[in-house]
Amino acid sequence: MRELTDQIRQEIKDMIFDYYAEECEVDRDEITMDTNPQEDLGSDSLMFVELIEMTADKYGLDIKLQSIGKYMLKSPMDTMSSVVDMFCKIYQYGNDIVNQ
Amino acid sequence: MLKRAFLFNGIGSKPEKLLINLPPMLMEKYESYLDDAFSRLGLNKDIEKNSAYNGRVAEWVISLICDRVVFEYYIEQGIVPDIGAGYSSGIVSISACFGSVSHEFAHDIIMMNRSTMKCLEQNNMKLDMGVIIGMSYEEASEYLSRRFSPDELIVGSGNSSFHVMISGRADKIEEALGYALEGGALKAFSFGTGVAYHHPVMEAYTKEYNDFCTSIAYSDPVYPMISGFDCRMITTGDEVMRENVINCYTPIRWDLTLKELERLGVTEFYDVSANGAVKKFSRVARGKCRMYSLEDVLA
């Protein structure tokens, strides 16, 4: 398991917020941890895949999408808070996220 | 040496999603082409006022018109393809844009889908297509084959390492969507099209469509094309015709097609769809290649 520092968590959060702000063409300040990425920002699953790919590239992770899909069955991504939490878990646990 | 490829999208994007991306200068051209095409084809520009089958094909003709507008814009900007590929009905679109058939004939091919839909209805065939996001062709094929036979459904198109289209019996498609989510798909949804393009079952119901496709001589394409079915190079009119004929009932390997283009030296991929649909579900080697959409070119 990788150690998740406050700095990495902030970095992940910034990356996610910046990405959604640009892709969904909204002001970054309008996005909060309670924002629903699908309903409030109009994001879609292809954007989500791209974000996973960006994260994998940035941190050198080899992650299978199905591991994330199985995790999402238990923990829906309905707020930015849940999205940030999930990406932090991807960073920490990689494919073992499915067991978290 | 091939460097630049144009990629043509199939059907599936709603007109409102396509048109929102066209700037005024392109919108003007679109309106002109739309007026000509819809008046010739007897379609109503208010899509909902068309009969069921006409409404559906009207949306698909709009996709082709958008492709044409974007294609011509790229050419005007000096962005000229060395080669091209069509995804699904993108084959019809590229056939016209690359000069093998007229745009009017391409629209007529699209209109022939009505006879296919009528034929399916008369034979009480309940078919559908769907998308699974989060699985590659190999992963989805292996996983789905545990529960479904090829007669029930197949992976109709391997699009990228995370995106496949499935095609087959409507009840089995519905069942497969839930099954895919259980298996770790990020998202799975059906099209509700009533047809199963790119499944072999369609061959029996596309006779009129295919007869029409072969009713004229095709010119050699101005630029070469690559087959989305088997990665063959296409340089003659007869080969373009064959692509159109087998299109409805032959599975696509878009993922392999893009890899083959890379192998041939292509590093610049241009999505000809107005809404960047191809760019979203396709992937090319990062760093080495780049994919451009209309939005990128306009910027």
Q: How do residues B5-17 score in pLDDT, each as one tens digit?
A: 999 997 778 888 8
Query: Looking at residue B286, what is its pLDDT?
Result: 83
Residues of A in contact with B163 (CB under 8 A): 46, 49
Residue-wise pLDDT tens digits, B20-71 = 889 999 999 999 999 999 999 999 999 989 988 999 999 999 999 999 999 9
Residue A65 lies in a domain: yes
| Interchain contact, A49 vs B134, CB within 8 Å | yes
The answer, yes or no, to whether residue B165 has pLDDT greater than 90, is yes
Query: Looking at residue B119, what is its pLDDT?
Result: 96
Between A and B, how many residue pairs show a Cβ–Cβ distance under 8 A? 43
Q: pTM for the full model?
A: 0.92
Query: Looking at residue B11, what is its pLDDT?
Result: 78
Query: If residue B5 lies in a helix (H) or strand (E), which one and from where to where?
Result: strand B4-8
| Interchain contact, B182 vs A73, CB within 8 Å | yes
Quick one: closest CA in A to B140, which residue?
Answer: A66
CATH of the domain at A52: 1.10.1200.10
- pLDDT, mean of residues A63-73: 94
Give the mean pLDDT of chain B: 96
Residue A1 lies in a domain: no
Residue numbers of the domain that contains A48: 6-99
- The ipTM value here is 0.89
Q: Is A46 on the interface with B (CB under 8 A)?
A: yes
Residue A61 lies in a domain: yes
The answer, yes or no, to whether residue B102 has pLDDT greater than 90, is yes
Query: Looking at residue B276, what is its pLDDT?
Result: 92
Cα-based distances in Å from B30 to B22, B33, B58, B65, B272: 9, 5, 14, 7, 14
Query: Looking at residue B287, what is its pLDDT?
Result: 83
Q: Which of B186, B281, B286 sits opposite A69 (nearest CB)?
A: B186
Query: Looking at residue B94, what is its pLDDT?
Result: 98
Residue A63 lies in a domain: yes
Least confident stretch, B73-87, B170-184, B239-253, B271-285: B271-285
| Interchain contact, B185 vs A66, CB within 8 Å | yes
Quick one: closest CA in B to A70, which residue?
Answer: B184
Quick one: closest CA in A to B143, which residue?
Answer: A66
Q: Is B179 on the interface with A (CB under 8 A)?
A: no
| Interchain contact, B184 vs A49, CB within 8 Å | no
Dist. CA B274–CA B18, nearest whole Å? 5
**Residue B227 dihedral angles phi and psi, to the nearest 5°:** -75, 135
Q: How far is B144 from chain A (nearest CA, A)?
A: 14
Q: How far is B178 from chain A (nearest CA, A)?
A: 11
Dist. CA A29–CA B122, nearest whole Å? 55
For the four alpha carbons of B267, B82, B18 and B199, in that order, the dihedral sign comes to negative
Query: Looking at residue B252, what is its pLDDT?
Result: 97
- pLDDT, mean of residues A57-63: 92
Task: Choose, out of A47, A65, A83, the residue to mutate when testing the contact with B (most B CBs < 10 Å).
Answer: A65
Buried b (16+ CB within 10 A) or exposed e, A29-58: eebeeebebeebbebebbbbbebbbebbee
Query: Looking at residue B1, what is its pLDDT?
Result: 81
Structural domains in chain A (count)? 1
